Structure 1
Amino acid sequence: MKTIKHILLTLVVSVVFISCEDVLVNEDPNGVVIDDLAPEVIMPGAQTVNAATFISTMNGLGNLMVATWSGNAQQVQAPYFTEFQYQFTTDFYSAIWDNLMTRTGNFTFIINNQNEGNYDYYKGASKISRAFYFQYLVDLYGDIPFSELHQRGGNLFPAYDNQVDVYISLINDLNDAIDQISNTDVNSVIDMGTNDVMMNGDMDKWIRFANTIKLRLIVRMYDYAQNNADVNTFLNQQIASLNQSSVMFLGVGDDVTINPGYADTSEQMSPFPNTYGYAAGQFGNAGNITFGNRATGPTTFLVEYLNGTSTGVMDNRLSRLYALRGAQTSIEGNTQGGSGLPSSFGPGLLNSPSQDGYIMTASESLFLQSEAVFKGILSSGNAKALFQDAITSSFDRLGSNIGSYLVDSDNISGIGWDGTTNKIEAIITQKWIDLGGTNGIETWIEFSRTGFPSNMPLPDITNRPNRPVRLLYPTSEYAGNTANVTPFNQSIDTAFNTPIFWDIN
């Protein structure tokens, strides 16, 4: 029975890939296909195709934009030359916009679905998922189409919404989703069950996930709101709602993952090993690694952070994140754009062709809660305890022995709570260590917001004096939504000198 269910699930996901991937854009000529599909059929594919972009493309870009990943110049000619030279154009990682903008349309379709039956769980989970991805679109691009998006033939040229307004809309959507899930008729509601390839229909966890995304939105816009009375009023109302005793967030052991039935075959492998692992059927075979595996390794900056060179404290996560390459006797890094041979991915990142994909880890949530308590956004909880729970959760997820790390690091500036004057620096630096390789895009965004970790070196081959703070609108927008995107008058300099609204520094 288990095998049959797995096969059926794979078939359902395959159908959605074929039927839905091209019906999400506004100019979709095939709308009748998706109109005939029930949410049960659409949901697995909606979750899976968006997650693939997040786990592979976005994760990879983020790790390259901060000093987490370097290139293997000994075995690949000029690895990541475009990324390390900061050659930002309208084609630079345009798949992030093109994929998320269109494929989140599946969630919108479920939200607006008029099929008979009580689909409140599907609709609520879709609102939460869409909010998750659209926060990243704002954090990477700023103003984006939102209120007029996903109307298919009804509006081929959606207007752009102000980025602050989109944030507010996402918070309202999350509130609606929580209400919809919490207050539905439990006797008639249709359970998601195995059609939910993220949480297997655990609606309490969906609510915790929603609260955590909402908290992240609030934390990001909190400093901006202090100088905007209307936004501050709205935010204070939302903060009050999160401080109710019944509200819970993702906690220890609460990783949000996805696995629709990943398998060690072509086209069905989990996104991270598919990009940074091995050829299908060759997992662990050093002679059949992917280009991403061969081209990528840690930076010297990161390795020296973890092996104690920079901090005086050995961090055992290093040997789980990275592994020896070739004849190496110790884990080595390379500078970004340098000529060295960095080590390869370790078992904490790369352990199986069918491994779960991470959407949001418990450690990320705990670091977020620590910051929120420290800033007074959350009125209960202990900021240091949450910070240390997050570190412990990180070690546990990576399968690393924490040993005496919490004690040894506590008085070390930059990585320990008591030893760091600015507690935000300790939180974000530890988050950078934890999410490097798992959610690189989050580490880039958090660096843009906070400036931590500090003293990160720029790539050897860039002529820019600072890191980019955003992506540029893609070629597809200039070709298909010309009138709405052209007034932004973006150039390559926009990626460096026009920050997202929450970057008030």
Structure 2
Amino acid sequence: MKNILRKTQVLAFSTLLIVTSCKKLDINESPNNPPVESATVETLFPSAVISTVSRTGGDLSIIGGLWAQFWTQNSNSSQFRTVDSYDVQATSNFINGPYSELFAGALTDYQLGISKSVAAQDWRYNLMNTVMKAYTYEVLVDLFDKVPYSEALKAGGNLQPKFDDGYTIYTSLIAEINAALAKDYKTAPLTDAQIKTDFVFGKKGTSADVMASWEKFANTLKLKMYLRMVNAKPAEAQAGILKLYQDGAKFLDEDAKVDIFIDVPNKSNPFYEYNFRRLNTPDNLKASVTFTSWLKKNQDPRAEVYFGEADPISINQGDYLGAAAHPEYNNAVNVVVNATDAVPLISKEESYFMQAEARLRYFGGAGAKDLYDAGVLAAFAKLGLNGATLLATTYAYPASADVNVNLEAIIVQKWASLFGSHALEAFFEQNRTGYPKTSAVYSTDAGYIPGQLVYTPNGVTGAGNFPRRFVYPDFEKSRNSNTPAQVPIYTKVWWGK
């Protein structure tokens, strides 16, 4: 049986990052090792949340940032060469680890927490677990396109669950969120001890504030999922977003984040733990010319926060074999990620940018500028910077008659704000919108436009075939005959542009 994670184990992030799953299998039950089914919702929930963020804010954000071209592989090391060259195979731990952890760890605990909450009519933990289950499932769908859902996470287990399509999973998750929001999760207050088990909003202090934030998180997650549908299911996306506004939904005006990390081995930010503390060298990831050229062109002070220098020396994306022709690569700067950095689930500025896009698309642009402005200012303020001057000049909202011009401004600013342990979202959003645009030339060419994504010179997929998804892990293919046939990593997922 699966062991319950004790409180100290919940904080053992290295275990969550490095091993396939945080769950252990016991042949015999012991009174000192009770089965996970006997766990309380208060024990299950923080364990599941850490399971989610250990991956989304750790190795998945490292991959997302490579593919969103915030950073690139150092020419003097090799840890992420396969990722930077788009050569991520079905046997890769970069795929196997997150797939296993998010299913066997996070989703299993969320589903058990939901079952226990419904049985006890505890609608507070039902909402919290439902939102986090939807968030985690969305990540898996956005990476793999089709995953087990309707036949997964069942009591007793199904060793060969079918794979559901992404649209079906999305609509089912939204229905689950709606059902949880329809329950009375406000009347019975959370105790102080229960609030402490909420690593996302527990620092707010009062039960009313915590549950109000979970409601906003739920609505903002629905908004994000509807926006993901705009290319593949435009009518459904529009109807869903308009209903959110018609119902007076409140969206996040704060970060939904896990901010409990300390600078101690096994308890630090998962990106930091994975890339800086656990590997043989802290120098694997270097600043990418793609991103730094854009920051430099715009005289954006975030460069110093992101890379430690106002004018960082960088490596052209994916050019890890090019040091002989580019001796400056030896002085390229590291990515700045701190041991105590939070892992965002949905950030304040991300929420504003999503709302701006919704206003642009479905309300004739009314209110889009104000929300865009709020997003830009929030992104700078989070780093201790004031973005007002750039917002009034270089980053001013274009208010063009061409919706695509305005949309590009919104998404590029969102991209610039997703650095660090939120970089996976930048990869997803580029796939959805096509922004930042891809370049027809490499970044060494005189005609290169700063900030446009370039195809790596060491790519294995063929020029222009950027990664759009993960392939299925070998272990899943070998044990589940329902696993879909592999498609190339550059095949778009169901909502892709």
- Give TM class, smaller chain: 0.7 to 0.9
Greater Cα shift, 334-343 or 427-436: 334-343
Q: 2:285 aligns with which of 293, 296, 299?
A: 296
Distance 1:438 1:387 in 2: 22
Report % sequence identity: 22
Q: TM-score, normalised by structure 1?
A: 0.81
Alignment of 1:231-380 (within 5 A): 232=235, 235=237, 237-244=239-246, 246-251=248-253, 254-259=254-259, 261-278=260-277, 291=280, 293-308=282-297, 313-324=298-309, 330-338=311-319, 339=323, 340-341=329-330, 342-346=332-336, 349-350=337-338, 353-376=339-362
Distance 1:224 1:436 in 2: 27
Letter in 1 for 2:201: M
1:484 deviation in Å? 0.4
Alignment of 1:495 with 2:489, yes or no, is yes
1:136 deviation in Å? 1.3
Indicate the residue corresponding to 2:116 in structure 1. Answer: 113
The number of residues matched between the two structures is 450
Say which SS state the counterpart of residue 358 (structure 1) adopts. Answer: strand
Distance 1:114 1:174 in 2: 14
Q: 1:389 aligns with which of 358, 374, 377?
A: 374
1:185 deviation in Å? 6.7
Deviations 1:369-414 (A, max 9, x none): 11111110x6895111111211111101122232511122146xxx
Letter in 1 for 2:410: I
Q: Given the superposition, is the C-alpha separation of residues 277 and 419 from structure 1 closer, same or farther in structure 2, using an over 3 Å criterion?
A: farther
Give 4+ residue runs of structure 1 displaced > 3 Å after superposition. 8-12, 14-18, 20-25, 27-32, 114-118, 187-192, 234-237, 276-279, 290-293, 378-381, 415-421
Question: Do 1:23 and 1:34's aligned partners in 2 also have CA atoms closer than 8 Å?
Answer: no
Alignment of 1:95-244 (within 5 A): 95-103=97-105, 104-113=107-116, 117-151=120-154, 153-180=156-183, 183-184=184-185, 186-187=187-188, 192-200=194-202, 202-226=210-234, 232=235, 235=237, 237-244=239-246
1:262 deviation in Å? 2.9
Distance 2:104 2:40 in 1: 19
Deviations 1:160-186 (A, max 9, x none): 112110010011111122222xx2471
Indicate the residue corresponding to 1:284 in structure 2. Answer: none
1:418 deviation in Å? 5.4
Deviations 1:239-273 (A, max 9, x none): 3430136311012xx011113x4333222222132
Question: Do 1:392 and 1:402's aligned partners in 2 also have CA atoms closer than 8 Å?
Answer: yes
Distance 1:28 1:305 in 2: 56
Q: TM-score, normalised by structure 2?
A: 0.82
Distance 1:362 1:114 in 2: 29
Q: Given the superposition, is the C-alpha separation of residues 250 and 194 from structure 1 closer, same or farther in structure 2, using an over 3 Å criterion?
A: same
1:425 deviation in Å? 1.2
Say which SS state the counterpart of residue 299 (structure 2) adopts. Answer: coil
1:317 deviation in Å? 0.8
Indicate the residue corresponding to 2:419 in structure 1. Answer: 436
Question: Do 1:293 and 1:345's aligned partners in 2 also have CA atoms closer than 8 Å?
Answer: no
Distance 1:15 1:334 in 2: 34
1:118 deviation in Å? 4.2
Indicate the residue corresponding to 2:459 in structure 1. Answer: 462
Greater Cα shift, 147-156 or 54-63: 147-156
Say which SS state the counterpart of residue 104 (structure 2) adopts. Answer: helix
Distance 1:257 1:207 in 2: 15
Question: Do 1:145 and 1:159's aligned partners in 2 also have CA atoms closer than 8 Å?
Answer: yes
Name structure 1 gaps, 5 residues minimum.
1-7, 227-231, 280-289
Greater Cα shift, 402-411 or 159-168: 402-411
Letter in 1 for 2:361: K
Name structure 2 gaps, 5 residues minimum.
324-328, 440-452
Question: Do 1:120 and 1:189's aligned partners in 2 also have CA atoms closer than 8 Å?
Answer: no
